[in-house]
Amino acid sequence: MADEDTRHESPSQTAGPYVHIGCLPNWSGIAGVYAEDPGSRLINADTRGERVSVTGRIFDGDGAPVLDAVIEIWQADAAGLYPSPVETRGTADPNFGGWARIATAFDSGEFRLDTIRPGRVPYPDGRLQAPHINCWIVARGINVGLQTRVYFADEADANVEDPVLAAIEPRARADTLLARPDGEGSFRFDIHLQGEHETVFFDI
């Protein structure tokens, strides 16, 4: 076995272009691997909470839509509880998955998430965070997955109190994390990987 001092971390590898084949085979037209792709459904008819949908596109530094991105979602249920074995504050809604995996359309770059509006969850110091959805993004050319959040523009009071949004400088950049109302129960959230309107990403 090699001496510890001679072992080094393997270099990062780009996630694409075949990430869909392994993560979303049905989406890619490959049947028979899974009855439905893992994480393809967050809610069902019995899920508690306000139904919302979030649609958008991911843009590269040149403003072109990214057609082969995969987004993984993690969020609390309507009561602010995570469906996780480490959740100690209560029992999460058994009809809510909490985790989802979605993709941008190969032709338009559009994605759509059907979910419920999440409840407020506490920050480590006890302060309540505004309702938000955690996102992890991978695509061709992205060596390390990008972490960001989706907040809701119509939660103005909660957003002002959110400790994560409050820590973003300059403050105006926090607006890149706001999903805007786009019809009844619908929100629009575009993600910009680089450029003038670059979305805030977190080093987690």
The token pair at 183 is: 């019809």
What digits encode the pLDDT tens for the residues 113-125?
999 999 999 999 9
Residue indicated by tokens 């780009």: 14
Higher local confidence (pLDDT), 12 or 155: 155
In the predicted structure, residue 6 carries a pLDDT above the cut 80: no
Gap between the Cα atoms of 66 and 83, Å rounded: 31
Say how far apart CA 164 and CA 144 lie, in whole Å. 22
What domains can you pick out in the chain, each with its CATH number?
39-192 (2.60.130.10)
Over the chain, what is the mean pLDDT?
91
Confidence tier at 38 by pLDDT (50, 70, 90): confident
Share of the chain above pLDDT 70, in %: 93
Segment 60-110, tens digit of pLDDT: 999 999 998 999 999 999 999 999 999 999 999 999 999 999 999 989 999
Q: pTM of the full predicted structure?
A: 0.89
Sign of CA dihedral 166, 171, 173, 177: positive
pLDDT at 13: 60
Say if residues 176 and 149 touch (Cβ distance below 8 Å).
no
- Name the 3-class secondary structure at 72: strand
Name the helix (H) or strand (E) containing 161: helix 156-161
User: Residue 129 pLDDT more than 90?
Assistant: yes
- C-beta neighbour count of 131 within 10 angstroms: 24
